[in-house]
Structure 1
Amino acid sequence: MHKFCLEIATDRLQPVDCLSRNRDSFVSRLAKSGCDAVLLSHANDQDAVCVIVAAKDAETTISRAVRSALREPQVAEVLVIDDASNDGTAEAARSADDGSDRLRVFSFEGNRGPAAARNYAIENSSAPLLAILDADDFFLSGRFERLLEGDDWDFVADNILFIDEAKADLSEPAAPCYEAEPRTLDTVEFIEGNIAKRGVRRGEIGFLKPVMRRSFLDTHGLRYREALRLGEDYDLYTRALLKGARYKLIHSCGYGAVVRADSLSGSHRTIDLKNLYEADVEMLATAGLSSPIAAALRRHMRDTKARYELRHFLDKKASQGLFAATIGALRAPSSLPAIAGGIATDKLDGLVRRREADSSQAGRCLLPGRLIVQE
């Protein structure tokens, strides 16, 4: 695997164990960068976090993402994997380095997808906790201090603050101060929360970005499925839940997600939907599934198949015309409800997005919460 990458920081490929470096020097650099001395101890204990950023053509946003990770004192490693970008993503990531010796930037020679990039980062890091950060998103200040309380979890996620790209500015947005209200997600709730709700924009539980315990992934041999370029998070987390993972959720906001037009479902490739459908088929073959879990997986599988059939119809319409696409659909009548329903609801989604574009500029959260009452 190493032949595909080079470490930008040294201009040569070199496996590095960040946590085996001189810790006194590391903590000293953190202190010089202005981190809260009370929290510096996190760099030395089992709360040390590796932040993984898979990036493709993200030169305009990657520096903000990296800075947001490096300002968190619990973060011991930040690994940026430049997935064969056509712009200055790697250089922009390096420009955000704070001198604390925590940032490493790797570049793939060819595009391999976010799952492969994240797996590479997992294998080339050593912090006991793993956090995923998308290249156009950012952490809200103090995220890990709030998130890592307690040890009753294998995965732990917090609320997401959504910001429309057109309305996002360079300053950190004000997030609602919600009570944590910790609870545990079960497997059925998680799967159901990943079934798209028409007319609801980015509303699925699958958008949560949990911190993961490396030990759980290693014990159960879990890694991202590299064939997936859509739903790779859903697939990994579901397989972990099927292995007995404890998935804790708190309602306070710690992750800022920038909503982009090209991140909507209509941009997914047909093959991506087909691969996600096949991942569900494979999980359904897991021995010992309870009836509720199997039923939830089947519902997710049917939803993915319907999206695939619509995408396949639209591809054929674009390449061969409406008449040929319609004839093809009539030859597979079971696909007609998905195609007709999908076209109608996509139009509805467009109306919803236009209404949201005219709505308040205030950020909106994925999950509802109870505001903290200031005494």
Structure 2
Amino acid sequence: MTSVAVVIAAHDAVRTIGRAVRSALAEPEVAEVWVVDDASRDETAAEARRCDDGSGRLRMLALSVNHGPAAARNQALSLTTADWVCVLDADDHFLPGRIGRMLRAGGEAELIADRPLRDDAAWVRQDQAAPEQVSFEQFVRANITRPGRSREEMGFIKPLMKRDFLAAHALAYDEGMRLGEDYDLYARALALGARLHLLPPMGYCAVTRADSLSARHEVADLEALRDCDLRLTGLRCFTPSERRAIRAHHQSIDARVQWRRLIEAVKAHDPARGLSAFTSPGVSLSLIARLAEQAWLRSVRRVGWSGSEIPTTSPDA
């Protein structure tokens, strides 16, 4: 029987870890549930242990220093013997039967993913769904944030990953990243020949939190995400179209980096530092557009329009 390991990196997740663990243990295909307590300051580990169903599948690891989800997940990946591995965030959960549905519908692929459900959105069960094969280029382009588009980047998927493929290519999460580490791992896997099959929602429930790591990142986190694209280019010879996709993603992240630097320069009344944020024509156009938008927002507030009439920018500034 095909075996699956579910990896849950948890830090101060006492309120949600129980639901996550119980939902993973409820899946019959799951042979191991690894909870890696990333130096929590609350009772996360104790709450996870209270959810043990006595089957011997719950495995607990404790880190004495907080290193972030990438390092925590790698601890479990280095120890599991399951055929497949799957990440579950500590504040998310599975709907019953998700793993079995994905294995049945995923076909011959090294990565089998489903589109996540946001905040327990309405869901219609789809047992006979046909997978969409996602190429490296499609995946990279799907992770480019565009104005006016909701944050549904494919980097947020939580696929089943063939452990043998990860081991054969020495693939693991980049422990220097605290933002976009999923994107980085999946992109490297695809660049090295993995096939990604994407399914409609199969039952991964993702909870949106204002205080999540992705919502409170630092400039250094964005820089690490931007620079992972540079490392991608050394993995193999890419087609011209693939290289353009990598450059486009790199530029989109650099625009976010430089916007943050520009804001810091304005606050510090440092014009020279502000000008240094205009690193390329593409980034410059993005910054000018953001500045124009901010100026327009201030002007409409001055004339007294109601807040509900004013469009807002992405919180991803």
Partner of 1:117: 72
For 1:249 and 1:280, how far apart are their aligned partners in 2?
22
Partner of 2:115: 159
**Could you say what secondary structure the match of 1:228 adopts?**
coil
Identity percentage of aligned residues: 42
For 1:349 and 1:148, how far apart are their aligned partners in 2?
42
Gaps of 5+ in 2: 298-309
The superposition leaves residues 264-286 of structure 1 with CA deviations (integer Å, 9 ceiling, x where unpaired) of: 85521111111111111111233
Tell me, yes or no, if the aligned pair for 2:73 and 2:173 is still in contact at 8 Å. Answer: yes
The superposition leaves residues 19-58 of structure 1 with CA deviations (integer Å, 9 ceiling, x where unpaired) of: xxxxxxxxxxxxxxxxxxxxxxxxxx2x211000011111
Find the partner of 1:254 among 179, 200, 203.
203
For 1:222 and 1:264, how far apart are their aligned partners in 2?
23
Find the partner of 1:329 among 271, 274, 278.
274
Find the partner of 2:243 among 264, 272, 294.
294
Gaps of 5+ in 1: 1-44, 354-375
For 2:167 and 2:293, how far apart are their aligned partners in 1?
41
Question: Residue 306 and residue 184 in structure 1: after superposition, are their counterparts in 2 closer, same or farther (change >3 A)?
Answer: same
The alignment covers a number of residue pairs equal to: 296
Tell me, yes or no, if the aligned pair for 2:111 and 2:162 is still in contact at 8 Å. Answer: yes
For 1:349 and 1:110, how far apart are their aligned partners in 2?
42
- TM-score, normalization: structure 2? 0.86
Question: Residue 297 and residue 337 in structure 1: after superposition, are their counterparts in 2 closer, same or farther (change >3 A)?
Answer: same
For 1:125 and 1:349, how far apart are their aligned partners in 2?
47
**Could you say what secondary structure the match of 2:147 adopts?**
coil
Partner of 1:242: 191
User: C-alpha displacement at 1:144, in angstroms?
Assistant: 1.1
Find the partner of 2:5 among 47, 50, 55.
50
Q: Which moved more, 1:107-116 or 1:199-208?
A: 199-208
The one-letter code of the counterpart of 1:143 is: R
- TM-score, normalization: structure 1? 0.73
Give matches, 1:43-122, under 5 Å: 45=1, 47-122=2-77
Provide the alpha-carbon RMSD of the alignment: 2.3
Question: Residue 256 and residue 84 in structure 1: after superposition, are their counterparts in 2 closer, same or farther (change >3 A)?
Answer: same
Partner of 2:124: 176
Find the partner of 1:190 among 136, 139, 149.
139
Question: Residue 316 and residue 52 in structure 1: after superposition, are their counterparts in 2 closer, same or farther (change >3 A)?
Answer: farther
Partner of 1:145: 100
**Could you say what secondary structure the match of 1:222 adopts?**
coil
For 1:237 and 1:349, how far apart are their aligned partners in 2?
33
For 2:146 and 2:214, how far apart are their aligned partners in 1?
12
User: C-alpha displacement at 1:253, in angstroms?
Assistant: 2.5
For 2:31 and 2:284, how far apart are their aligned partners in 1?
52
Give matches, 1:123-138, under 5 Å: 123-138=78-93
Tell me, yes or no, if the aligned pair for 1:199 and 1:345 is still in contact at 8 Å. Answer: no
Question: Residue 313 and residue 352 in structure 1: after superposition, are their counterparts in 2 closer, same or farther (change >3 A)?
Answer: closer
**Could you say what secondary structure the match of 2:198 adopts?**
strand
